[in-house]
A and B are shown apart, each in its own frame.
Chain A
Amino acid sequence: SYELTQPPSVSVSPGQTARITCSGDALPKKYAYWYHQKSGPAPVLVIYEDSKRPPGIPERFSGSSSGTMATLTISGAQVEDEGDYYCFSADSGGNQRVFGGGTKLTVL
Chain B
Amino acid sequence: EVQLVESGGGLVQPGESLRLSCAASDFTFSDYVMGWVRQAPGKGLEYVSVISGTFGITNYADSVKGRFTISRDNSKKTVYLLMNSLRDEDTATYYCVKDIRDESSGSDVGFDVWGRGTKVTVSS
Interface size in chain A (residues, C-beta < 8 A): 28
Q: Which residues of B contact A100 (CB under 8 A)?
A: 44
Q: Who on chain B is nearest to A88 by CB?
A: B110
Whether the Cβ atoms of A45 and B111 lie closer than 8 Å is yes
Determine the distance from Cα of A1 to Cα of B47 in the docked complex, in whole angstroms: 13
Whether the Cβ atoms of A95 and B59 lie closer than 8 Å is yes
Q: Who on chain A is nearest to B37 by CB?
A: A99
Whether the Cβ atoms of A1 and B62 lie closer than 8 Å is yes
A98 is an interface residue with CB less than 8 A from chain B: yes
List 14 other contacts, CB 8 Å, given A31-B107, A45-B100, A95-B59: A30-B108, A31-B108, A37-B45, A43-B114, A48-B100, A48-B112, A49-B107, A96-B62, A97-B50, A97-B59, A97-B61, A99-B46, A102-B44, A102-B45
24 A-B residue contacts at CB 8 Å?
A31-B110, A33-B111, A37-B45, A41-B116, A42-B95, A42-B114, A42-B116, A43-B45, A43-B95, A43-B114, A44-B114, A48-B112, A49-B107, A54-B100, A88-B111, A89-B108, A90-B108, A90-B109, A97-B50, A97-B109, A99-B37, A99-B44, A99-B45, A102-B44
Q: Which residues of A contact B (CB under 8 A)?
A: 1, 30-31, 33, 35, 37, 41-45, 48-49, 54, 84, 86, 88-90, 94-102
